[in-house]
Structure 1
Amino acid sequence: MRELTVPTIDVSAFRAPGDDGRDEIARQVDRAAREVGFMQLVGHGADPDALRAFTAAMDAFFALDLDVKNAYRCPPGVNRGYSPPKSEALRGSLGLASAADLFEAMNIGTSAADFPGVDLPADDYAPNVYPAEVPGFEAAVTGWFAEAGAVARVMMRIFGRALGLGEDYFAAFAQHPVDVLRMNNYRLPSADVELEPDQEGMGAHTDYGMVTVLWADPVPGLEIHLDGRWHPVTPRADGLLVNLGDALARWTNDQWISTMHRVAPPRVDGRLVPRRSAAYFHDGDVDAVIACLPGCVTEDRPAAYEPVTVGEHLHAKLAGSRGRQLNATAGREAARLAGA
């Protein structure tokens, strides 16, 4: 496979006062959103010291014994806590059966306590669990949660400008957002482990919400699906990957792409190698309604999606991946895998 070129975009002008350079960044983002759905971000302003502390805390957690980590599991309907290897299958979010995925993960996110005075569903805004066995884990992880969240909000301002809606347009959909930071470890029992048929590090899926901010080791594994083929993408060591979620695709009536992607078992010279990643999902308010924007619907391009709330969409996707109840509402996304 040839490696697809994911555009690199410097967004530093959106962190500086004034308007200089912002239209050009919005143009670059609009093109990447229409053609690839992924972009490599530089000039994002995330604190490298916070990232170092975060990855050290993540490594210390994943190095714990499995029975210790399992003490931090949450029910499938609560998207917080620990998920052991082979406990999820991301293809289920598309309504497709598959072997269980190899990754293990730890999730934290916004909780009801973050939005006092707002009546929010307990499962969607559940309290976080932090491992007592890793000193400083909560501070390091919440530190990166704040850094990645700031990048996500910069991107939403750029998206609003790129779509001609104004930089503050999408803020109305994120007054109490269901934001989640998912730490992933693709550790395998052995570099020579035998894989089940069709087994992947993380199965093919689209992201569910508005935007994803991804840090990952600069090693093979991530692949994105465009033009009927899988293309490998290696993250930049000096950047962050950003990709669009289903909400942006639905708002723009698929003019912007929520790109199908997966993580193949990471190999270098034919041998499986360690790989880590951390995805910050900015998913919007649980009660926000996602409906095709009027400017993206025409007589020749009618609305491809019925309106749905963020919560309804998340529940169907998570029931498929975590609860192993195949999602019956993702036919349009699943159809993209035909011929892959």
Structure 2
Amino acid sequence: MQFQVITKLLLQEVSYISKVTNSKSPILIHASINMKVENNNLILQATDMDHHIMSKIDVQESLEGSVIVKIKDFLELLKKINYHTIKLSVINNTLEIKDAFEKESKSNFNFFILKEDFPSLDITNFKKIFSISQKQFLELFSFMSITQEEWTFNLKLSNNLLEIIASDKKRLIYTKLPINEENNYNYFLSHKSINIILKSACDTIEMYEKNHQILFKLGHVYLFVKLLKNHLVMDYQRILGKIDEGTKILINTNDFLRILNRIIILASVISQVVKITFQGNTLLLQSSDISKGKGEESIQVISGVCEGKIFINCNFLISSIKTLKNKELELIYTGNLSHFFLRNNDIIHVIMPIRIM
């Protein structure tokens, strides 16, 4: 196998492909990249069992063949070499990399080739479900910065509406987008799957299905995703139904956020709990810690009147509010031991209260 390619182009592709791999995996294939040359095309593939990604780019001066190498060190070298174009060749069971235009290269790099069999990715006979612009997809998942690996995501399509329900069992986030698809679908994806899609540089995301298998077409990249079983513990429809029963108040987003950032300083490091007392058109926020002291601050609401109190994780409130863009934020109170809602246009954040004995 042999080919020439612009270093920057190969680096870009390998960087994206690497998001699927796990360099700490004891299974070599899951920490490796498969490179196959055919018809002056370089096909790059990686997998971790739950994901399989494939990318194709044009190359020059090629000889057909394929190799598998560990991706971590290969990627690191691509980041640090300063050749405009590189030549990759299989020589004595190693993958040699050198400057394509320097006849007597002063530096050669040789990677050991792995002998494992690489699984194939079949992208035929998939039925297209929907397509969406990358910009719209990013907007749908504008809250992604507050999520962690334990979050799961429900993509639900029904009656020309795409609903996103995300949860980590302590919080729930709901958002929606009108979409041109009349059929009903219901999929559960991992945090890693969504993150890989969001990092794509494509303009349009296309989603396909075959026998309950999901394939995303991200420009020239194909991403196969293993679906999760129903991982959402919360009954989101029942929870969101409480909104109509709750008391709604409108508050200035930035003013509320500034107060939370101050009040959390004296909150317990472990629980980060803050007490919010609704006193008509005023909110009283209190925090305390046996080793630090007490904090108290109040804020006037823009509209709405509410009576009651709730203990809630202040950090959850802060992180959620930071992802919301409007100047005004709607808070929905449904009881001191019930779900607390933050609503901003078509996105709803739900936070469970903390029981204080």
Using structure 1 for the length normalisation, give the TM-score: 0.21
Higher relative contact order (CA 8 A, sep 6+): 1
Larger strand fraction of residues: 2
Structure with max Cα Rg: 2
Using structure 2 for the length normalisation, give the TM-score: 0.20
